Amino acid sequence: MNNSTIKIRIKFAKRGSLKFVGHLDIMRYFQKLIRRAGIDIAYSEGFNPHQKISFAQPLGVGMLSEGEYVDLEVQSTFSSVEAIKRMNDANVEDLEILSYRKLSENAGNAMASVAAADYEIAFRENYKPAGFDFYKLFSEFFNSNNEITVLKETKKSQIEMDIKPFIYEYSGDSERIVLKLSCGSVTNIKPELVMEAFFKHLNMELSPFTFIYTRLDVFGQKESGEFIPLESFGEDI
């Protein structure tokens, strides 16, 4: 990072119809939003300068989120409160800036820092089976299996993989489940994969329309092993 620039981490929510907008379009939208909001973004040097901006973990099409992250470098900055207001005033309805925080000079970028993510999984209206206690049945599934083996897609093929070690936590009630899953470039476990294994265990058919998936937050990992939200690596200005 150039010593004359300031590194900023932004947290945002992606709601409503924006779940159908892909990652590349969100990236292009943010470049325009930053200009409209008057953020003093830094640019790369060379014949084709581009904004110094990078996103954390791409969100799958069809998934909602309350915890997406983007890092940028700026030449100067407003306060956190003012920057959030300016960006939201220039924003579309279903995308909301939630935090704007300054990172230390030695902080890792968002993409490299990702270690886990929380996902809420809830039934769509009229898709929940009668008498289905989500938390109870998932607990029985998780605790009665030494392994949870799935076929996981890679760039070149499929591999058989035990994903149980990468389901770090689960909570919820009869209506919904929240899973903390391994996330990032090394081992990225999608909640859809877990639900496929769960319904296979129950001998039930899983329709692609059964669940609403919402990413609640994305986490980095401290040296102690504790997971903390990516925004916690920065501080308000």
Indicate the domain borders of the chain: 6-113, 116-227
Residue 197 pLDDT > 90? yes
Give the residue from 25, 96, 93 showing the smallest Cα distance to 59: 25
Residues 199-211, mean pLDDT to the nearest whole number: 93
pLDDT score at 213: 97
Residues 44-56, mean pLDDT to the nearest whole number: 89
Higher pLDDT, 186 or 234: 234
Per the prediction, the chain carries an average pLDDT of 92
Cα separation, 98 vs 67, in Å, equals 8
For 120, the enclosing helix (H) or strand (E) is strand 116-123
The model's confidence at residue 3, banded by pLDDT at 50, 70 and 90, is low
Global model pTM greater than 0.85: yes
- CATH 3.30.70.580 assigned to domain 6-113? The reply is yes
Residue 196 pLDDT > 80? yes
How far CA 3 is from CA of 74, 80, 118, in Å, comes to 11, 21, 34
Residues 52-76, mean pLDDT to the nearest whole number: 94
| Helix, strand, coil percentages in the chain from 3-state DSSP, rounded to 5 | 25, 35, 40
For 83-107, the pLDDT digits (tens) are 999 999 999 999 999 999 999 888 8
Residue 168 pLDDT > 60? yes
Residues 110-137, mean pLDDT to the nearest whole number: 93
Residue 46 pLDDT > 50? yes
pLDDT score at 1: 46
Give the residue from 121, 119, 115 showing the smallest Cα distance to 57: 115
